Amino acid sequence: MLLLVDLDGVVYRGSAPVPGVPALLDRCAAQGDTIVYVTNNSRWHRDEYLARLDAMGVPVRSDLIVTAARATALALAADDGEPSTVMISGGPGLARELRDVGLRVVAPTAKGLAASPSVVVVGVDFALTYRRLSVAADAIRQGARFIATNRDPVYPAADGLWAGAGSMVAAIATASGREPDLVIGKPEPGLFQTAALSVGWPPERAVVVGDQLATDIVAAHRVGARSVLMLTGVTTRAQADAATADQRPDAIAADASELEAVLARYRPESTRASR
C-alpha cells in the first residue's frame, strides 16, 4: 500500500512528534507499505527533513521525502525546453533542490535579472524585500515563466502564523500583472502526482494522510486517491463534519490508534492475512 503522509500536524507538531505516529509508521513500513512524506513547505531541503524525521524514529530515506521544492525542481527538469536560468524568490532549500537537478539558479537582484532568467520560482521567502519583490515581478513582465511552489497564505511557526508562500506569490502576481503559470503544491495535484510516481505508483492507488481539508484532502480528491483526515493538526471534528463534498475525507482519525485501524481496513487482504 502506498501512503502519502503530510508532515506538520500529522507526523509532528512543531518540534515534537505526534504521539504514536512514528511507531505506527515503523509498523507500516515493516508490513511492506511504501511511505512517501509530502509537504508544501519549500524552504528546507530534503536532507534537513531527513535528519528531523530520523531523530524522531520515523522510517525514512531522502528519496521518500517530496517537498514542494523538490517537486518543483523535478517538474522543471522534466520540461522539454529545460530552462537554462531560474530566478528564485524563496528559501535556501528551494535553491538547493533546483541545483540538485542541474539548473542554474540566480537571486532576484539586478545581477540575476541581467542573466535573463526564463523562469521565476516563488516560495516562502524569509529574506523578501521590496527590491527582491520588484525584480522578480520585472523578470516575469519580461517574459519569464511564473511558477509557485504553493499558495499557502500562512506559514505555521512556533510563535504563531507567519506569511506563507502564497502571500509572496500574491504580491508578485499583483506587481507583475500575471497569475502563476503553474502551482505545484497542494491543493493542486502536482505534489501528490510527483510523490507517487517517484516510487512507481499511480497516484490514484495512494492513501493520503493529512490534517488540512482545503489542501491535503482536496488534493487527494484531485488525484483520485483515498484520504484520511488526522485531527492532530489544524482541523477540528466540527470542521470535518461540516466539510463540503470536495473536502470530505474517506475516513477521520483522532490519533495514531484510530489511524492504524483505518489503514488496516485499507490494506489488501493478502497483506492482512500474512500478518
Residue 54 lies in a domain: no
Q: Which of 183, 204, 223 is the last residue of a domain?
A: 183
- What is the distance of C-alpha 41 from the center of its chain? 6
How confident is the model at residue 274, as a pLDDT?
42
Do residues 192 and 178 both lie within one domain?
no
Residue 64 corresponds to which amino acid? L
Rounded-to-integer distance, Cα 148 and Cα 27, Å: 36
Which regions of the chain are under pLDDT 50? 270, 272-275
Residue 240 lies in a domain: yes
How confident is the model at residue 273, as a pLDDT?
43
How confident is the model at residue 154, as a pLDDT?
83
How confident is the model at residue 81, as a pLDDT?
63
pTM for this predicted structure: 0.91
Do residues 202 and 246 both lie within one domain?
yes
Residue 47 lies in a domain: no
Do residues 261 and 226 both lie within one domain?
yes
Domain CATH for 88: 3.40.50.1000
**Contact assessment for residue 166 and residue 151, using Cβ atoms and an 8 Å cutoff:** yes
**Contact assessment for residue 116 and residue 83, using Cβ atoms and an 8 Å cutoff:** no
Starting at the earlier edge strand, list the strands of the sheet with 65-67. 65-67, 34-39, 2-6, 206-210, 226-230, 251-253
- DSSP H or E run through 269: helix 269-273
Rounded-to-integer distance, Cα 209 and Cα 217, Å: 8
Rounded-to-integer distance, Cα 215 and Cα 166, Å: 13
Do residues 88 and 175 both lie within one domain?
yes
Closest CA to 175 of 112, 126, 120: 120
Do residues 150 and 222 both lie within one domain?
no
Do residues 170 and 200 both lie within one domain?
no
Do residues 173 and 213 both lie within one domain?
no
pLDDT tens figures, 17-47: 999 999 999 999 999 999 999 999 998 999 9
Rounded-to-integer distance, Cα 179 and Cα 177, Å: 7
Annotated catalytic residues are 6, 8
Range of the domain at 143: 80-183
How confident is the model at residue 14, as a pLDDT?
81
Do residues 90 and 131 both lie within one domain?
yes
Number of domains forming the structure of the chain: 2
